[in-house]
Amino acid sequence: MAECLLDESERDPGARLGNARRVVIKIGSSLLVDPSTGRLDDLWFGSLVDDVGALRSRGQDVLLVSSGAIALGRRHLGLREGPLRLEQSQAAAAAGQIRLAHAWQEALGRHDIPVAQVLLTLGDTEQRRRYLNARGTLETLLGLGAVPVINENDTVATEEIRYGDNDRLAARVAQMMSADCLVLLSDVDGLYTADPTQFPEAELIATVSEITPDVEILAGESTTDLGSGGMITKIAAAKIALRAGCHMVIASGRNPHPLQAVESGAPCTWFVAGDTPASVRKQWIAGSLKPRGDLVVDAGAAAALAAGKSLLPAGVIEVHGEFERGDAVIVRDGDGTELAHGLVAYSVSEARRIMGRKSSEIAAILGYGGRDELIHRNDLAMIKRNG
Ligand code: GLU
């Protein structure tokens, strides 16, 4: 009987990956690069790419966060043993990234999947304007059916301005792109009740729905995983993902077809989000951002917004405030009643010039093309009213 009470995804945890609309997959260096040869493990790599191809052919958006640049480049430059100094890692990354990108291009190309390399630094996800640019580019790539292959821009990232590990970078990407599933493939199959290398009776934890202090302690005790991450950065990634409404899974990538394995329920640890990315984003737009201006709309636009549509310039009759592209603004009706908060796609001076005009006229008016919508519906949070 208890079975009936379980929600679908509890019975079939792999469906969180299988049914996701947008997936970020992080692949650790220790999986990609064979430490004895310093080369890519081709057989395994091919099987992973087959799995990515399967997700794409079902129409799922895929973003890959691929480590391995430093591991691939160090051998190429003759930097063999021991820890590297920062400038050596940067040099190794410069040599390795080109190989890494080439390998992804070759492998995904066999599935006719266009590949695009995106190298990010911390500021690209933490500073608003750069964040908007990075998100816009990634969104365009996904819209064109490409798979972005993302890594930290190690060659320019010094200690103070680097993520340092791709677990958190992947979580930031998942948050930025409103992904609904983040897969961390590494050399461990999840979070254990104790360090399994020391305590054979340690058990794998199948589901975590909240990062409690106990979970953090467990992560601190774990000594597994050879990448720069370890379990602590995976838990930090889980915190970011869950706050963004994105499920996250730590799964072993040791065997071929690691994504297929997660989907078919192989042992792993799922961090289950209580919210969806869309609702978290709307709460953020409505609650956390200080509005910089007001857009007054006509009755037709107000009705369109209430029906879940985007705000087009044609429906705007007044523009107030001082705002830039990407800032939050309040949308009001002619009586001054707040209808919505939203992220505006044009600056105040541009908005004044295009208000009341058709979207097809935007390029001619501004001298450059932009979005058709002044506020896209994904960037709108409607004000709920009782009654
Ligand atoms: N960005 C590093 C690389 O490509 C990897 C960082 C990590 O291991 O998390 O080599």
Residuewise pLDDT in 10s, the chain (387 residues): 334 444 566 788 999 999 999 999 999 998 999 878 888 889 999 999 999 999 999 999 999 999 999 999 998 999 977 889 989 999 999 999 999 999 999 999 999 999 999 999 888 887 777 888 899 899 999 999 999 999 999 888 777 667 778 999 999 999 999 999 999 999 889 999 887 888 889 899 999 999 998 888 888 755 444 344 578 899 999 999 999 999 999 999 999 999 999 999 999 999 999 999 988 988 888 887 789 999 999 999 999 999 999 999 999 999 999 999 889 999 999 999 999 999 999 999 999 999 999 999 999 999 988 889 999 998 999 987 754
Total domains in the fold of the chain: 2
- CATH number of the domain to which 325 belongs: 2.30.130.10
Rounded distance between C-alpha atoms, residue 58 and residue 174, angstroms:
19
Distance 332 CA to ligand 1 centre (A): 47
Residue whose Cα lies nearest atom 7 of ligand 1: it is 165
Q: Give the Å distances, CA to CA, from 150 to 69, 218, 285.
A: 11, 29, 26
Q: What are the pocket residues of ligand 1 if the criterion is a CB atom closer than 6 Å to any ligand atom?
A: 29, 67-71, 93, 151-152, 154, 165-166, 227-229
Report yes or no: 123 and 133 within 8 Å, Cβ to Cβ. Answer: no
Closest ligand 1 atom to 164 CA:
6
Domain range spanning residue 306? 282-382
Closest ligand 1 atom to 151 CA:
1
Distance 40 CA to ligand 1 centre (A): 14
Q: Are residues 263 and 286 in the same domain?
A: no
Closest ligand 1 atom to 93 CA:
10
Distance 95 CA to ligand 1 centre (A): 13
Q: Are residues 187 and 99 in the same domain?
A: yes
Exposure b/e, 141-163, CB count within 10 A at least 16 = b: bbeeebbbbbbbbbbebeeeebb
Residue whose Cα lies nearest atom 6 of ligand 1: it is 165
Domain end marker among 247, 274, 301: 274
Q: Are residues 148 and 196 in the same domain?
A: yes
Torsion angle, alpha carbons of 11, 17, 20, 24, to 10: 150
Residue whose Cα lies nearest atom 5 of ligand 1: it is 67
For 58, residues 6+ apart whose C-beta sits below 8 A from its C-beta are none
Q: Are residues 190 and 133 in the same domain?
A: yes
Closest ligand 1 atom to 169 CA:
9
387 domain-assigned: no
Distance 187 CA to ligand 1 centre (A): 14
Domain end marker among 274, 292, 310: 274
Q: Are residues 240 and 299 in the same domain?
A: no
- CATH number of the domain to which 253 belongs: 3.40.1160.10
Closest ligand 1 atom to 67 CA:
4
